[in-house]
């Protein structure tokens, strides 16, 4: 009460500047903390034409995060999706468990203008990796991470490579080592 409409309009924008867009709700991983399967079942890919319309309607977005519960690295048109997002001038981020991502798909996303690759890494122990992710392997994660770092060294522009860590009782002791 008492707040004028003009003041509210001055503090809000007609469209969001930071968006999380789930390119796919599919994921080969079965992480112990994830609700994806219970909420979305087998999942599905976002219709690319719908994605194009969404991107086309944005007004100067600042950040586009191309993920949510699914593994966006498995989106069939990932490179094109990143290029459209980057074309808005926004910083484009992909969060990925990375271990199942094909190198050519990762490289296509990076070449299309991906500005930030956030790797979901919750352990450095192979047995814990199996217990947490329940798909792929820690060796595959290391291989893909090394490929991303190698590509970053040769890339014509820098991109940020960082880590996301879900802290649980079973892995909290590893947080300093992962960091």
CA distance 17 to 4: 23
- Mean pLDDT of the residues in the chain: 89
Contact 42, 86 (CB under 8 A): no
The predicted pLDDT at position 9 comes to 58
Q: What is the pLDDT of residues 123-169, one digit of tens each?
A: 999 999 999 998 999 999 999 999 999 988 887 778 999 999 999 99
**At 64, phi and psi to the nearest 5?**
-120, 115
* End-to-end C-alpha distance for the chain, whole angstroms: 46
d(C-alpha 19, C-alpha 152), whole Å: 25
pTM for the full predicted model:
0.86
CA separation for the pair 167, 174 (Å, rounded): 9
pLDDT exceeds cutoff 80 at 100: yes
Give the tens place of pLDDT for each residue, 5-62: 665 555 666 777 899 999 999 988 888 888 877 777 788 999 999 999 999 999 899 9
């Amino acid at each position: 009460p008492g707040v004028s409409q003009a003041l509210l309009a001055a503090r809000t924008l007609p469209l969001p500047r930071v968006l999380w867009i789930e390119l796919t709700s599919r994921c080969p991983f079965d992480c112990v903390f994830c609700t994806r399967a219970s909420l979305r079942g087998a999942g599905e890919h976002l219709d690319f034409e719908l994605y194009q319309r969404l991107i086309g309607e944005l007004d100067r977005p600042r950040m586009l995060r191309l993920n949510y519960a699914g593994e966006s690295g498995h989106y069939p048109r990932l490179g094109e999706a990143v290029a459209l997002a980057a074309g808005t001038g926004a910083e484009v981020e992909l969060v990925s468990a990375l271990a199942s991502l094909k190198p050519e798909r990762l490289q296509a996303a990076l070449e299309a203008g991906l500005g930030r690759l956030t790797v979901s890494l919750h352990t450095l122990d192979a047995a814990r990796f199996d217990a947490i992710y329940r798909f792929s392997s820690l060796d595959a994660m290391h291989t893909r991470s090394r490929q991303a770092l190698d590509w970053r060294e040769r890339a014509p522009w820098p991109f940020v490579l960082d880590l996301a860590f879900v802290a649980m009782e079973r892995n909290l002791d590893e947080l300093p080592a992962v960091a």
